[in-house]
Chains A and B, each alone.
Chain A
Amino acid sequence: EAQVTQNPRYLITVTGKKLTVTCSQNMNHEYMSWYRQDPGLGLRQIYYSMNVEVTDKGDVPEGYKVSRKEKRNFPLILESPSPNQTSLYFCASSLRGLTGELFFGEGSRLTVL
C-alpha cells in the first residue's frame, strides 16, 4: 500500500530534550516536506526537500532541522524543543514537486512541557 508513515504519532516531552520525528514514504517520491498545524493558522511549511541531499527552508524553519540521506526518509529534528513547538506535524511527499499532489502522513501530535 502506497503511504507516508510518521512516527511517533503522539509524543509528550520536556523543554530541551532532543527529539526526532521520522517520516518515510514507499512511493519513490522525489519531493518531501514538513508542516505544522496550529489553531487558527493554516498548514505552515517548515522544510522541504527536492531530492537526496537537497533541502531548503519553508516559512517557519526556526528551531527545526531536517536531513535527506535516503530518498524514502525525511526526519524532522528538534534539537532543543520549546513549548511554542507544541503542534500537530504533518509530513508529505509528491512524485514531482508542487506540480503534483501531496500525499500526507497521518500526523504527529507533539506536546512540549
Chain B
Amino acid sequence: ILNVEQSPQSLHVQEGDSTNFTCSFPSSNFYALHWYRWETAKSPEALFVMTLNGDEKKKGRISATLNTKEGYSYLYIKGSQPEDSATYLCASSSGGYQKVTFGTGTKLQVIP
C-alpha cells in the first residue's frame, strides 16, 4: 500500500489570505496524482489530475504543481474565500496499475 501523506491536517485562514497544502507520495513508479475538493455532506469533486514531472495546473484561484522525482505536490489557493472551506484530498497511483491511494486530507476553514 502506498503511503500518501498530506499536511497540514487542518488549517484556518482569514478571508483574502493565500494558502498552500502539501501532498507527499512515493516517487518510484509514479503514474498519476489527483487533487479533489470535498465539501461536507457532498461527494469529492476533481480539481486536477497530473501525470508529468513539472506539471502545473490552474483553475481560477486554485493551482497545483507536481514534482515526481522527489514525490510531492503543492496545492495553492490565492485569496481564500469562505466558499473554499472544504477538505482537500490528494491521491496517488504508481506502477502503471489502476490502484489509487488517497491521503487523509487537509481541512481548510476560511474565516470571513
Residue ranges of A at the interface with B (Cβ–Cβ < 8 Å): 31, 33, 35, 40-45, 48, 50, 56, 58-59, 90, 97-107
Give B42's nearest chain A residue, CB to CB: A106
Q: Number of B interface residues at 8 Å Cβ cutoff, please give it.
A: 25
A98–B104 touching, CB < 8 Å = no
Knowing A42-B89, A56-B98 are in contact, say whether A101-B103 is a contact too (CB < 8 A): no
Question: Can you list, as one digit per residue, whether each of B80-112 has a CB less than 8 Å from chain A (1) or not (0)?
Answer: 000000000101010001111111110000000
A101–B103 alpha-carbon span in the complex (Å): 16
A42–B103 touching, CB < 8 Å = yes
A90–B36 alpha-carbon span in the complex (Å): 14
CB neighbours of B104 from chain A (8 A) = 40-42
B4–A45 touching, CB < 8 Å = no
Residue ranges of B at the interface with A (Cβ–Cβ < 8 Å): 1, 4, 31-32, 34, 36, 42-46, 49, 51, 89, 91, 93, 97-105
Nearest CB of chain A from residue B15's CB, rounded to whole Å = 28
A42–B4 touching, CB < 8 Å = yes
Nearest CB of chain A from residue B11's CB, rounded to whole Å = 17
A59–B99 touching, CB < 8 Å = yes
A5–B105 alpha-carbon span in the complex (Å): 24
The number of inter-chain residue pairs (CB within 8 angstroms) is 64
B89–A43 touching, CB < 8 Å = yes
A40–B99 alpha-carbon span in the complex (Å): 21
Question: For A48, A59, A97, A101, which residue has the most chain B Cβ atoms within 10 angstroms?
Answer: A101
Contacts A/B (CB < 8 Å), 15 sampled: A35-B102, A42-B89, A42-B102, A42-B103, A42-B105, A43-B91, A50-B98, A58-B99, A59-B1, A59-B101, A90-B43, A98-B100, A99-B31, A104-B44, A106-B42
B31–A98 touching, CB < 8 Å = yes
Other A-B pairs beyond A41-B104, A42-B4, A98-B100, 14, CB < 8 Å: A31-B98, A35-B102, A40-B104, A56-B98, A56-B99, A58-B99, A58-B100, A59-B1, A59-B99, A98-B31, A101-B34, A102-B36, A105-B43, A107-B43
